[in-house]
Amino acid sequence: MAGLIAQAYGQETATPGPSASPEDNATNGAGIQTVKVTGYRNSLLSSAKDKKEAVGFQDSINAEDFGKFPDKNIAESLSRVPGVQVGRDVTGEGMTIQIRGLGSSFTKILLNNSPVAVASSGPIDGANTNREVDLDLLPTDLFTKLTVSKSPTAAMIEGGAAGVVNLRSARPFDKEGRQLSASLTGTKQQIADKAGMRGSLLASQTWIGKFGILGGISFSRQQARTRGFETVGWTNPNLTVAQSASPNRNATGGGNWTIPATVPDNAGNGLVAGSAIDQAFLLAHNPGLTVDQIDHAIVPRLGRTMAYYGTRDKISTVFAAEYRPTRDLQFYLDTMYSKKDDDMQRNAYTWAVRNNASIPLNLQVDRSDCANGCVVTSGTFANALNFIEFGPRRDKVDLLGINPGMEWRIAPKLLLDAQANWNRSRFTHQAPTVMPITAPNSGNTVTYANDGGVPSIVSSLDLNDPASYQWTGGRVNIQNELRETETKGFHANLAWGDKALTVKGGLAWDDIDRAIRAQDNSAAWQAAVCGNHPSVFLQGPNGAPPCNGASTPGASAAALYPGYGTGYTAGQNAPLAYQGSLIPTAALPGYLVPGPYGRLALDWDRFRQDSNFDYYNGTAPDSGASSTGASAGYIREKSKAVYLEASGEAVLAGHALRWDAGVRYIRTNQQVGSLNSQPDPRNASLPLNGSKYPNISQWVYRESDYSNTLPSATLAADLRKDVVLRAAASRSMTRVDPNALRPGINFSGVSADVGTMGNPELAPYLSDNIDLGLDWYTGREGYVSLTLFQKRINGFTVNENITMPFSALAPYGINYGTLIPTQQQAIDSRGGPDNATVVMTRPRNADGILRIRGLELGWVQPLDKWLPWRGFGFNETLTLINQRASGEGSSGFIALGVPKKTNNFGIYYENHGTMLRFMHTYSQGSQVATANQSGITAAALYGDDYKQLDFSSSFELDQILERDGLPVLTFDIVNLNRARRRGYFQFANATMSQYDPGRTFALGLRMKF
């Protein structure tokens, strides 16, 4: 190791004898002082060596040994690379990454040099339908190296305009002979009531340098809990002419909240039933405010506290084999299977403003000028409604991958390598929801206060009392989602030459398809549970009866179900004896029980059985959208590529040069489809309805072809033995979000107020990239790296937000009859199909260029030369990004979720068998969604600054106690500073969401045999 370090860094060293342990020896006048480089420092040392020897802009993270990766999560590991930002789940765990200011879909993830796709929807508050890969599905214990390439070469698989990340799993010849390592760790999330565990076992054997096998397993069971607040948007009231005579009435949009025209019965607060609620009323009951302030001030649409808790299980296995019949011929097989099963409970305690009739009293707002909107800071709301959303969440995702390949050195200067790949991923999301609600006209009053953080929402009712809830106005939902992705391909490369000049060419064929199916049987389940019609399994043309909780026969089934027979004609002759709710209002409180954290919860097991859930869930028909908000759709992309590349090394004026240049040509055939509802040709006179009867669900497909030429060139010059100058120019391509390509229209919410329209004509993103960097390697694992980069992106997608009457969607095949009953009710509450407005979002390629410029700083510095205590060091990454759009972009399109500044700083100590490390990550707040949110024209969504501090440590007991055979003890704390992830709506004091996962502790043992 000492000789290797001397060669890499030109550092004066004393080389140990053959039996010495790997070490880095620094000499001074006093003699030889030794710092043993193992563990984390050895990983940094390997990364620095790889970075120095690379031609392009590349960073890597290496494991020192099997099962000894320096981080517990792949996403967290990659955050140590300059220019890489981590996307986190609400639990605080890293899930996805983005590189250099572009979203995670602009990063191409490879598993053992081959494309991989994961079918899941991403974080629990997300609805990924794109090309993101959830890295938390892949445990670090089974990997040996991660490589991030930010300047592409012609040989690299296309698809990552931001960068390419290759995840290399363990192989037997990574460590020859017999190897066995194992680990077991106990985990405890501070705010969860139970502990969890994780562990791994990895074993390999090689024989006579020709054949080797490796097998490994990693597993974990995490008891998770996250506390949070969500609003599902903010809204202002939709005032009538009688309530506002101002010419600016409803000028800011929104209007999801309707103040009633007269005081309802039992509204509370001393209000007299039947009194007109006009402009004079509003001004008198909200002293000090103008009618425009009342009109334009926003409150949460669905202000709710959220509890998310349960068990998260993961298991992953690898099997790898290598066969080397000769020194020049090698065959290998990499396989991996990973599975994640989240069995969680999600309870949300909600103040319902959207589509309801609260009466504002004594409002205060945060500014006098509300022309562009303002925020309500306090007030009292009479005639209020609260409801609870109880729902088990069962998410399962798996990934199976098989990658065989070979390398053959045909002649000293001729090398052939080839690889095939196949992987498949499946995802199921089961999300039933039970929503009991407080009784209307119950005198319920909400007292509201907002100091800029999480608002205080206090009801005059005891919301922890089961007797406060009933069915009328409530509902139940059955919404499922099923996804499957499959990738297969073949890649071959032929290279001729030596270090001075190598010419390389190759071909690639890839076939990737992805399907999303949504299921919704809410109407039938609701009819049985609380709609007084348990025998009617399918919704009729007039919609399912709303929840009324009746347990005795009511109106005849024929009035609601005028058909006959079975299927969509069921119900005309349904006998009255079959009517009655399975769970009437009188029985409902018995299903509401004390939860594990002091709030009401649902006795789901008993409710599931008594409501006949399994039947309705098992017979759920396909729908256009799921509870994640993802639209049903299909995409298949078949691509064929060829490339030619030359590379070499030379010496110019005493400086070593390394270079490569080439071009890649890629042709893509793309087929996209969506699920649309059409009238039943057998009886087209019957109206449509949202349970697909009498509709026939049909897949509608669009096909297109396009090709791209992607040149690239890179130069690395050794200005000194320890200083490298790099420059690169390239064109890269990323294909468009499959969901944006989907033909058709979808409403993702129960209010039918916001929808999406696909655009199959979208072109891929093309990015012209320039990189310029200077690296100084300071010795051992140390280096300072400074990089400037620019990306000019053509074809960047922007969303058009179009506000239109609901009736205007008829030409697109959407009308009142295609909606589910709850959406129909929401349309009715906003004035019916001709008066209710909707906001449709449609993507298109922007007529302009998005330019992203940035600076990256990477600094890894051991401090042995300056401190009397050996083993200390620090590592720092800083990324600064500025983006600007030209042409159409001058009016404001940007890449979303791009922080202007990210910074990761770590301090480490490793010596005498002890390793201690603190890592602080920082991401500046940024815009995360475009304007026109919840129908408010100027409202965009933003994320706050995020800072997280983690601690990790390990203690090699055999070194510390000087006894062979002892294990390594590890202790880690994740989120030591108890960071909360927060976003806001238009204004910084309008919290959109906030999640608090608390700290997580881990204590473990690792052994090597």
φ and ψ at residue 159, rounded to 5 degrees: 120, -10
Average pLDDT over residues 481-509: 95
CA distance 476 to 547: 8
Residue 11 scores a pLDDT above 60: no
Cβ atoms of 599 and 349 closer than 8 Å: yes
CA 202 to chain centre: 30
d(CA 15, CA 19): 11
Span 435-487, pLDDT tens digits: 999 998 889 999 999 999 999 999 999 999 999 999 988 889 998 989 999 99
- What are the tokens at 328? 């020049």
Over residues 187-233, the pLDDT tens digits come to 999 999 899 999 999 999 999 889 999 999 999 999 999 999 999 89
Spatial CB neighbours of 746, under 8 Å, sequence gap ≥ 6 = 624, 625, 631, 632, 755, 756
pLDDT tens digit sequence for 535-554: 654 443 334 567 876 654 43
Cβ pair 965, 958 in contact under 8 A: yes
Please state, in angstroms and rounded to a whole number, the distance separating the CA atoms of residues 259 and 466. 28
Cis peptide before 738 (omega within 30 of 0): no
Least-confidence region, from 46-60, 246-260, 774-788, 882-896: 882-896
Given a contact cutoff of 8 angstroms between Cβ atoms, the answer to whether 647 and 55 are in contact is yes
Q: Give the mean model confidence (pLDDT) for residues 650-656.
A: 91
pLDDT given at position 739: 76
Calculate the average pLDDT of the chain. 84
**Residue 192, strand partner residues:** none
- Are 168 and 146 within 8 A, CB to CB? yes
Q: At what angle do helices 39-53 and 2-9 cross, to 10 degrees?
A: 40
Lowest mean pLDDT among 60-64, 195-199, 750-754: 750-754
pLDDT of amino acid 677: 52
CA separation, residue 490 to residues 108, 157, 210, 258, 511 (Å): 17, 11, 25, 59, 9
Mean pLDDT, residues 378-403 taken together: 94
Burial class (CB in 10 A: 0-12, 13-18, 19+), 761: exposed
pLDDT digits (tens, 9 = 90+) for 898-920: 889 999 999 999 999 999 999 99
Contacts of 371 (CB under 8 A, 6+ apart): 248, 251, 292, 296
Weakest mean pLDDT among 469-483, 676-690, 984-998? 676-690
Torsion of CA 263, 264, 267, 272, to 10 degrees: 50
pTM for the structure as a whole: 0.84
Residue 237 DSSP label: B
Do 776 and 783 form a contact (C-beta atoms < 8 A)?
yes
Average pLDDT on 548-574 reads 38
**What's the confidence (pLDDT) of residue 16?**
33
Report the 10 Å Cβ neighbour count for 347: 20
Helices (H) then strands (E): counts for the chain: 12, 50
Q: How far is CA 241 from CA 63, 238, 277, 678, 924, in A?
A: 69, 10, 11, 39, 43
pLDDT per position as a tens digit, 93-114: 788 888 887 777 788 899 999 9
What is the mean pLDDT of the segment spanning 879-892?
A: 75
pLDDT of residue 570: 32
pLDDT computed for residue 523 by the predictor: 83
| Higher pLDDT among residues 14 and 828, named by residue | 828
> What are φ and ψ of residue 622, in 5° steps?
-65, 150
DSSP codes joined into one string, 398-416: EEEEEEEEEEEEEETTEEE
- For 327, other C-beta atoms within 10 Å of its C-beta total 9
- Specify whether the backbone of 809 is left (phi greater than 0), alpha (psi in -120 to 50) or beta: alpha
Q: 928 by DSSP, 3-state: which?
A: strand
Query: Count of CB atoms within 10 A of residue 721's CB?
Result: 14
Nearest to 41 by CA among 778, 779, 781, 777: 781
Q: Enumerate the H helices of 754-900 as residue ranges.
A: 821-829
Structure-token match 């009617």, residue found: 536
Q: For residue 569, give the amino acid letter.
A: T
Tokens of 612: 């006949």
Instruction: Compute the distance between CA of residue 841 and CA of residue 745 in angstroms, rounded to an integer.
Output: 10
Residues 6 or more apart in contact with residue 697 via CB below 8 angstroms: 621, 622, 675, 676, 677, 678
Q: Exposure pattern of 105-114 as b/e (b: 16+ CB <10 Å)?
A: bbbbbbbbbb
User: Which range has the worst mean pLDDT, 68-72, 402-406, 625-629, 683-687?
Assistant: 683-687
pLDDT (0 to 100) of residue 197 = 95
Report the pLDDT value the prediction gives residue 35, as an integer from 0 to 100.
Answer: 47
Please, which pLDDT band fits residue 30 given cuts at 50, 70 and 90? very low
Backbone angles phi, psi at 478, to 5 degrees: -120, 110
Whole-number Å distance between alpha carbons of 173 and 944: 46
Q: Is the torsion defined by CA of 838, 839, 841, 846 positive or negative? A: positive
Q: What is the dihedral of CA 816, 822, 828, 832, to 10 degrees?
A: -20
866 neighbors 874 (Cβ within 8 angstroms): no
pLDDT band for position 568 (50/70/90)? very low
Q: Pairing mode, if any, of strands 782-794 and 765-779?
A: antiparallel
Q: In this predicted structure, which of 124-128, 290-294, 464-468, 991-995 has the lowest mean pLDDT?
A: 124-128
Q: What is the largest CA-CA distance in the chain?
A: 102
Q: How far is CA 90 from CA 122, 125, 411, 480, 870, in A?
A: 11, 7, 54, 21, 39
User: Is there a contact between 724 and 706 (Cβ–Cβ < 8 Å)?
Assistant: no
Q: Six-digit token pair at 218? A: 């990693």
Span 355-371, average pLDDT: 92
pLDDT surpasses 90 at 638: yes
* Structure-token pair, residue 710: 């992607």
Closest CA relative to residue 540, chosen from 401, 425, 689: 689
- Contact (CB, 8 A) for 353 and 300: yes
